[in-house]
Amino acid sequence: MTANGTSAVTNRSIDAGRRIDWVDYAKGICIVMVVMMHSVLGVEKAADQTGFMHYVVMFAKPFRMPDFFLISGLFLSVVIDRDWRTYLDRKVVHFAYFYLLWVTIQFGFKAPSLAAESSWRDVCLLYLESFIEPFGTLWFIYLLPIFFVVTKLTRNIHPFVIWLIAAALEMTHLATGWTVIDEFSARFVYFFTGYILADYVFALSDRARARPVLALGGLALWALINSGLVTSGASEWPIVSLALGLAGACAIIVIGTLLARAHWLNFLRYCGEHSIVIYLAFFLPMAAARTLLLRAGIIPDIGLISLIVTVVGVAGSLLIWRIALAVHANFLFERPDAFWIAPKQPAARLQAAE
């Protein structure tokens, strides 16, 4: 902890230009789980059936987004004291650019079918509404800048006070129908935990790397408890939901560390390195694969269809990225110079939610 009560990421974690292997693995696991959730629920809704992948999605529900937000807060202590202009450029304008671009792209693909169900006037109104009510899968990058700004604005308040308020908000399970309000209440505690307890997160990873057998035993116990509480329905209870979110985030960090230690499943690390690419683009290959497979009817098992759609969603988004680079459409995944409001600092590339 620093003098003002906040955590500072240890020096070994911020070497210029060096990525941290377990962070990329953990982010890779998270982004795959996000694609899986949208793929599975989309297939099951379209087919009006439930497959075996449904149970995987339900198992991951308590910790899927908490882990993503906790990791997003890990490196914030390194940059939070920057001047407002630089901070807003990195933490607000960065995500606003991609949100505005990709919400427009998503509307471009979905507008004809939406207009067929209502009218073009309603589609235009829905597009305008997406600037106050996040559209589709893009709510994560809409919410992150809000978290960054709120954390900077409150940095002179004792972090324990902020954490208690954030924890209380999570336990209310607020359901106003407005995504920003509801998701802020449900997720900010995990982001703030990553920010103030970054040193402890890195220490957990170090211990898991040093004692893998003990780490595996802990993971087995966690999996049993998480499964039992999800199956019983108790995972949605106040306090329990918060505990499972934090425990699951720790479990993903440990899994990421063990995979990095063994150099296994490197594709997950690659996915983590390019998580923003997958997050932005997976909707298109996912939707295309779902439509084709369900219409073809050659695979009877809904669970298998869901699994294939998940794989296509991840791989297809990376393919779209590679094609974009090949045709010099870098603006789809890289913010052009015209949209920077502060000078670039390309030296150190920290693994925030980028």
Within-domain flag for 10:
no
Q: Choose the weakest-confidence range: 112-121, 293-302, 329-338.
A: 112-121
Within-domain flag for 26:
yes
* Residues 152 and 144 sit within 8 Å (Cβ to Cβ): no
> Does residue 346 register a pLDDT over 90?
no
Q: Regarding predicted confidence, which is higher, 354 or 245? A: 245
DSSP code per residue over 260-316: HHHT--HHHHHHHHTHHHHHHHTHHHHHHHHHHHHHH-----HHHHHHHHHHHHHHH
Within-domain flag for 231:
yes
Mean pLDDT of the chain: 92
Domain count, the chain: 1
> Does residue 351 register a pLDDT over 90?
no
**Cβ–Cβ contacts within 10 Å for residue 152, how many?**
18
Q: What is the mean pLDDT of residues 180-194?
A: 97
Three-state DSSP class for residue 175: coil
- Give the residue among 30, 31, 33 at the shortest CA–CA distance from 56: 33
pLDDT at 86: 95
> Does residue 354 register a pLDDT over 60?
no
Q: Which range marks the domain in which residue 104 is found? A: 16-339
Residue range 263-315, pLDDT digits in tens? 999 999 999 999 999 999 999 999 999 999 999 989 999 999 999 999 999 99
Rg of the Cα trace of the chain? Answer: 20
Within-domain flag for 347:
no
The amino acid sitting at 301 is D
Within-domain flag for 128:
yes
Percent of the residues in the chain that have a pLDDT greater than 90, as a whole number: 85
> Does residue 80 register a pLDDT over 90?
yes
> Does residue 17 register a pLDDT over 70?
no
Locate 155 and state its tokens: 């940095």
* Residues 112 and 55 sit within 8 Å (Cβ to Cβ): no
> Does residue 136 register a pLDDT over 90?
no
* Residues 35 and 312 sit within 8 Å (Cβ to Cβ): no
Within-domain flag for 296:
yes
pLDDT at 19: 84
Within-domain flag for 352:
no
Within-domain flag for 322:
yes
> Does residue 3 register a pLDDT over 90?
no
Q: What is the mean pLDDT of residues 75-92?
A: 95
Give the model's confidence band at 1: pLDDT under 50 very low, under 70 low, under 90 confident, else very high.
very low
Q: What is the mean pLDDT of residues 161-171?
A: 98
The amino acid sitting at 306 is S
> Does residue 221 register a pLDDT over 70?
yes
pLDDT at 305: 97
